[in-house]
Amino acid sequence: MRRAVSVIISQQEYDLLSAIGKPENVLASLADHAAQGIRRTGAWESGWIRQCVGYDFEKNLEVDPTCKGKVWTNMRTKGTPGQRTEEP
């Protein structure tokens, strides 16, 4: 399933992203890389995510015990961001 997200950026940010490609596509690609960095701890994107947001997000994830290395399988939280409710 794909989800739509609206993002408001400045004209300067839009112009800078345009140097890479269509800004909507650039942001979609960045979102994909961010998700990979969260899901796969050994991926190069993981370091990038930790630089951007720190390590706190990891407490909301579970490790897939069937995989070699750390691969996050799912969120421990339910609800919308800012309204986290731990699962039992």
* Gyration radius from the chain CA atoms: 15
Bridge partners, 78 (sequence order): 85
Given a contact cutoff of 8 angstroms between Cβ atoms, the answer to whether 40 and 49 are in contact is no
pTM of the model: 0.68
- Assess if residue 2 is contained within a domain: no
- Assess if residue 28 is contained within a domain: yes
- Predicted confidence at residue 82, as pLDDT, reads 39
Given a contact cutoff of 8 angstroms between Cβ atoms, the answer to whether 75 and 60 are in contact is yes
- Assess if residue 33 is contained within a domain: yes
User: Is 8 or 88 the better-scoring residue by pLDDT?
Assistant: 8
8-61 residue pLDDT tens: 999 999 999 999 999 999 999 999 999 888 887 778 898 888 898 888 888 777
- Assess if residue 1 is contained within a domain: no
Q: What is the mean pLDDT of residues 63-75?
A: 66
Per the structure, how many domains does the chain have? 1
Given a contact cutoff of 8 angstroms between Cβ atoms, the answer to whether 31 and 48 are in contact is no
- Predicted confidence at residue 74, as pLDDT, reads 57
- Assess if residue 70 is contained within a domain: yes
Bridge partners, 86 (sequence order): 77
